[in-house]
A and B are shown apart, each in its own frame.
Chain A
Amino acid sequence: MQRVPILKLGDVLIVSIQIDLEDQSVLALQEDLADAVVQHGAKGVIIDITAVEIVDSFIGRMLATIASMCGMLDAQTVVVGMRPAVAITLVELGLSLGGVRTALNLEKGVALLDHIRSATP
C-alpha cells in the first residue's frame, strides 16, 4: 500500500496526492493526518489534488471527513487544485463538499489560510 506523504510548512501541513487512491491509503491518510496535526500543532491543512484525475463518492466523502476532522483539531482545511472534470463529477454525484474551503491552486490556498487566520485571531 502506498502512503501519501504529509509535508510541514510553518504551521501548515501540505498533503499532495500524487497516487491513485485506494480505500486503504485513504484511511491511512486520515489517521496519519490527524496524528500529524496534533503532533505539530498545525493551524492549517492544504490538500492538493491537482494530480487527481478520477474521483468517486468515497474520495469525495474523504475530503469532507478530513475537513471536519481537522476542524475538530482546530486546523482549517483547504482543498486546492481541483480539476474541472473532477469538479463536474462531484457535482453530478451530488457532493457539494459543504464546509470544505477550496482554492484554485496551492498559492491561493496558502493565501486563503493566512486570510482566515488574520480574520479570526
Chain B
Amino acid sequence: MSVHADVARRRIEELLRTHEERIVRRWAEIASAPSEELKELYRALLAALEEGKNDLADVRGLLAELSRSRARAGFAPSDTARAVFGLKEAVYEIVEADTEGVEAARGFVWFSRLIDDLGLFTFETYAEARERIILDQAEQLLELSTPVVKLWEGIVAVPLVGTLDSARTQVVMEKLLQTLVETGAEHAVIDITGVPAVDTQVAQHLLKTVVAARLMGAECVISGIRPQIAHTIVTLGIEFGDIVTKASLADALAHAFKRAGIEVSGGGNARVVIRAERV
C-alpha cells in the first residue's frame, strides 16, 4: 500500500471514529433500519479496521446474521444490500464537510470499495440461504413422491408418479425393500401408470428393483403399463424376462390375491373369501 493510500485510509478511520454518533444516526435514517443493529455492525467494522485486518471476519458474521434475519422478515436481498450501501452516503456527508485537504476524499474511494464488497457479501449470503432451502425442498419432494402403500395384508404397492431417474429409483428401491422387511409383505406391486416415459435406463432400474425384491423373498409385479409404453419397450428390445407385468393395478392385485391364496368371489354382493394362506 502506498504512503498516500495509507494516509488516506488513516484519515477515514479517524473520521469514522470521531463522527460515530452522527454517521450511525444518518445511516439508520438512510437505511431505515433499527440503529442498534447498525451500531453493532459499525463497531465491528471500526474494530476490524483498527486491527488492520483485511478479512473482516467479524463484520461478515454479523452481516450474514443481519442478511438472514432480514430475509426471513421478507426483505428483498437488494433492500439489505442497499441498507449496507447507505453507509457510504452517510460517510460521504462527513467527508464532504471535512476541510483538511484531499486525504479524506481519497480515502473515501478505498472505503467505498470495502462497503461494496460487504454489500455483495449480503447478496451471497442470501443466495446461499435460498439454495439451502431449495435443496431441502428437493429432498422433501423426493420423500413425498415415493409412498409405499399397503393394499392388503401381505401386499404392498408403490404408485410411481413422474419421471424416474437413478436417484429416485434408488430411493424407491430402498423404501420398498425396507417396507418388505418391516411388514413381512411377500407381494409387491410397482405401478407405473404415472410414469410418462420408459426408456432403457428406467426399465433397467425397474428390473433391478424387482430382482432385489426377489432376492429378499418377495414377488414383485409391475403394473400400469400403457399401450404406448408397451410399444416403446418392445421397440427398444427390453427383455422383462420372467417378471410378471400387468396392464392395470387391478389386474396386478388380482394376481397377488391368486398367489397369496386369497379368493375374491363376484356377484350381487361381492364377498372376499380368504382361504388358508399358502406360502
Contact = CB atoms under 8 A, between A and B. Distances in A.
A3 interface: no
Contacts of B208: 88, 91-92
Interface stretch (A4-12, A14-22, A65-73, A96-104): A96-104
Contact of B216 (A87, A92, A96, A115): A87
A104 B212 contact: no
Interface residues of B, number: 20
Contact of B212 (A79, A91, A111, A114): A91
B217 A88 contact: no
B137 interface: no
B191 interface: no
Contacts of B214: 96, 102
B200 interface: no
Given A108-B186, A111-B279, A115-B279, A90 B215 contact: yes
Contacts of A88: 173-174, 177, 208, 212
B271 interface: no
B278 A84 contact: no
Interface string A73-112: 0000001101110011011100011000111110011011
A53 to B, nearest CB: 13
A82 B211 contact: no
Contacts of A105: 184
Contact of A103 (B173, B185, B217): B217
Contacts of B178: 84
Contacts, number: 62
Nearest to B173: A88
B218 interface: yes
Nearest to A97: B215
B199 to A, nearest CB: 19
Given A83-B181, A84-B174, A88-B173, A104 B211 contact: no
A115 B184 contact: no
Nearest to A84: B177
Contacts of B177: 84, 87-88
- Which has the most chain B C-beta neighbours within 10 Å: A87, A92, A97, A105? A87
Given A84-B178, A84-B181, A96-B211, A104 B218 contact: yes
A97 B214 CA distance: 10
Interface string A24-46: 00000000000000000000000
A81 B221 CA distance: 21
Contacts of B174: 84, 88
A108 B212 contact: no
Contact of A102 (B181, B185, B217, B279): B217
Given A84-B174, A84-B178, A108 B211 contact: no
6 contacts: A82-B216, A84-B177, A87-B213, A87-B215, A88-B212, A112-B217
